[in-house]
A and B are shown apart, each in its own frame.
Chain A
Amino acid sequence: MMDTDDIARTARRAAAACAGLDASAAARRLAEDGILGLLAPEEVGGLGLPLSMAAPVVAAGAAELLPFPLTEALLLARLLGRSAPDTATAIVEGREVATIAWRGALRAEGSGVLHGTVGRAPMAGEARWLVAALEEGGAALIDLRAASGSVTVEEDMSSLDLERPAALVTLRGVPAAQRIPAGADWSALLADAQLLRAAEMLGSGEHCMETAIAHITERRAFGRPLVANQGLRFELARHKLALENAKHALDHALAVAGQDPHGQSIARLVARATAAEAGPMLCEGAIQLHGGMGFTWDVPMHRHLRRVRDAAAQCDAIGARAALAARVDEPAENEQGWAA
């Protein structure tokens, strides 16, 4: 049995080996190490592990700028494990790429065919399967290749991500391969995606902070290493505090994620808000600490910032706080039993 550190190390190696690969090749490489089936049930070749085991894996992927929609693959292999086992197996085995459109919803018309435009679908241009929400509730699994009717995939310009370019997908009269009912499984996918995004942001953020520390330790100015300047040391100490705060919040949210089938816990809101603010702060701070170098295309800080900004927009710190404000004096989930 692998422990969390083993899994994270394996994921880091596998993600590094995916540099420069397209989505299909990356899927095959990740599947070699069993990474895509971490959350999927055993019937489709998965390991059936809890969400907390997937977090260090997506964080490792983020640190390596993995060019693959890993969060989507992990969660879809779990979601489809029972309802569409063939598709789930193909995802786990790295034979087919699946993604999710995180913005918008499709309209189902009379005969059940789907219409409309959804966005924020990472690498939809390279994927066979797309899952998108439906206006009536729940979601649909769509085969983008076999589609009768018409499918258009365009660049989604609201996204910054370079490794996993997001797409706008427009369907005109395309049948669903599978309907996913509104309910616990779909709610859990949406809520768990937020925690994996938080993990990705912190993976990128921590990597950027470490890179910035290495840079200012090497770099000399005014006759001494940059790192000797108290102004920079204090700034990095603040970055570390933001990172540790968010990690504490995320670890707790992951630990209690299984007790919260609807994804409405205070722990999740706290994790979303802290990560969505720490992630961009760490990446932007690292660019600043790199000086002019940080503004160049070749120094990959901007790639992290792009991914983290996309994730932060979806984690939506302001929305999380607004939801929490309505419940600001409610006991936390792990403290509710105290009154009994």
Chain B
Amino acid sequence: MDSAALNALASSDPAAYRRAIRDWIATNLPPAWRSDAIDKVDPTLEELKDWEARMYRAGLWGAAWPKEYGGHGLTLREHLIVSQEVGRVPMPESVNSIGKELAGPIILAIGTEEQKKRFIPAILEMREIWCQGFSEPEAGSDLAGLRTRATHDGKVWRINGQKIWTSGGWRAQRCLLLARTGTLEDRHKGLALFALRMDAPGVTVQRIKQIDGEAEFAQVFFDNAPVEEIDALGAPNEGWKAAVRVLEIERATNRMYRAWRLENELRHLVSACRADPNLATLLSDPAYAQRLAQFRIEVEVLKRYVEGAVEDLVSGGSIGARGSLMKLHWSEAHQRFVALAMELLNQASLPPPPEVRAAQRRFRKAYMRARAETIYAGTSQIQLGIIADRILRLPRAA
């Protein structure tokens, strides 16, 4: 089935639309790429780019983006259905989620017509991978304190400064860059967003090795790096407003498949335990049973947040601060779950059956990676502050 036929199903028969997506994934995803595969093989970057471009052509990326920019012209409801099906299968993470879930939506919101026509298809076709240039060594949670400067030299913008924790910075062609056009004292005024070319002169990337042993993120140095006027996103003083929107999107709709992927992790853990005599016994131990059930409860609650946000957005509402509730909830629930997975899998029979080894390989990585989940996209403490200030609207000190 091609994407036109698939998209036609979306309105006429949502159940068939879902089935078609499920069938496409089952037919096309190499089984060895699944995180629960016993003989797992890590795909290369080129293979992943090709995979995501095929997903796009099949209708699985860009479902809710306008047709004139290469999207499939459907709604967030279809994006939710795709996300649910993507989540249910432990496929590799997107290598361009910054492009697809942050840069894309923000360009569609504040970009010029020319920018939309240039950037959006390149994201979907995987010609341009994006990274996010927000955090700095002196401006992490306190983003309004960022120091990277953008000055206009009469012809182009010139960028000077440093970004850090830039996931995928080493593979990106573009950086969604937040830089200061005013003074440091202006705080959140005088910030601008740019679509910086990562191959521009004066851009240097250094990878940073993380606690899980990978070097996914990087620091990026800018030494008078040029940005053409046509690559400035929105007005020079609109950067903060746009950045806040980016962060709200990041917390609420980014990786919409997450709830269903977390459920897949739970199912994987349970099925691996059933394959092992020691662990099968532990599954019915009341203490472990309570904790496993608690994670299922937390996953179901997360699904409700996601579905509710989609319905509100489809009927014209906004995401607002509620993304902070979702983000705080899933990141803490997931940290508890991967710790539980490690506790269980540590008690496997010897030698461990292959299903258990596959689960151990998946969850030991997930456990270490999960430490980042309460830090990125705004730490848990930042989320608590947002809930207090913007959801509960507690008065500030006089």
Contact = CB atoms under 8 A, between A and B. Distances in A.
Interface of A: 213, 217, 224-225, 227-228, 230, 233-234, 236-238, 240-241, 244-245, 248-249, 251-252, 266-267, 269-270, 273-274, 318, 321-322, 324-326, 328-329, 332, 335, 337-338, 340
Given A270-B300, A270-B301, A322-B286, A241 B329 contact: yes
Contacts of B15: 337, 340
A207 to B, nearest CB: 14
Contact of B388 (A234, A274, A325): A234
Nearest to A321: B293
23 contacts: A224-B397, A225-B395, A228-B396, A228-B398, A233-B385, A233-B389, A233-B394, A234-B384, A236-B388, A237-B384, A237-B387, A237-B388, A241-B328, A248-B304, A249-B300, A252-B304, A270-B300, A321-B289, A321-B290, A321-B297, A322-B290, A324-B296, A335-B84
A321 B294 contact: yes
A214 B266 CA distance: 41
Query: Dominant SS at the B interface?
Result: helix
Interface in B1-48: 15, 18-19, 22
Given A237-B384, A321-B289, A322-B286, A332 B300 contact: yes
B397 A225 contact: yes
Contacts of B293: 273, 321-322, 324-325, 328
Nearest to B386: A237
Counting chain A CB atoms within 10 Å of each CB, the highest count among B19, B294, B383, B396 belongs to: B294
B304 A251 contact: yes
Contacts of B289: 321-322, 325-326, 328
Contacts of B384: 233-234, 237-238
A122 B392 CA distance: 35
Contacts of B392: 213, 236-237, 240
B267 A267 contact: no
B290 A325 contact: yes
A322 B291 CA distance: 10
Contacts of A328: 266, 270, 289, 292-293, 296
A157 B394 CA distance: 39
Nearest to B380: A234
B18 A240 contact: no
The 4 closest A-B pairs by CB, nearest first: A228-B397, A325-B289, A237-B387, A248-B304
A217 B300 contact: no
A41 B55 CA distance: 52
A224 B398 contact: yes
Contacts of B183: none
A252 B387 CA distance: 23
Contacts of A249: 297, 300-301, 304
A252 to B, nearest CB: 5
A274 B305 contact: no
A228 B398 CA distance: 8
Nearest to A331: B263
Contacts of A248: 301, 304-305, 308
A322 B285 CA distance: 10
**Which of A248, A251, A324, A332 has the largest number of chain B CB atoms within 10 A?**
A248
B329 A245 contact: yes
Interface string B271-289: 1000000000000001001
Contact of B300 (A230, A266, A321, A340): A266
B18 A325 contact: no
Contacts of A318: 290
Contacts of B329: 241, 245
B304 A217 contact: no
A324 B381 CA distance: 31
Nearest to B288: A325
Contact of B271 (A324, A329, A337): A329
A236 B394 contact: yes
Contacts of A321: 289-290, 293-294, 297
Contacts of B271: 329
A325 B292 contact: yes
B398 A225 contact: yes
Contacts of A326: 289
Interface in B299-324: 300-301, 303-305, 308
Interface in B363-387: 381, 383-385, 387
A326 B267 CA distance: 13
Contact of A274 (B290, B297, B396): B297
A228 B394 CA distance: 9
Contacts of A225: 395, 397-398
B71 to A, nearest CB: 24
B143 interface: no
A227 B397 CA distance: 7
A230 B396 CA distance: 10
B325 interface: yes
A293 to B, nearest CB: 19
Contacts of B267: 329
A267 B305 CA distance: 14
Contacts of B266: 328-329
A270 B22 CA distance: 27
A234 B384 CA distance: 6
B211 to A, nearest CB: 26
Which of A217, A225, A251 has the most chain B CB atoms inside 10 A of its CB? A225
B297 A324 contact: yes
A233 B384 CA distance: 8
Nearest to B286: A322
Given A321-B294, A329-B267, A340-B15, A245 B301 contact: yes
Nearest to A335: B84
B322 to A, nearest CB: 8
Contacts of A240: 325, 387, 391-392
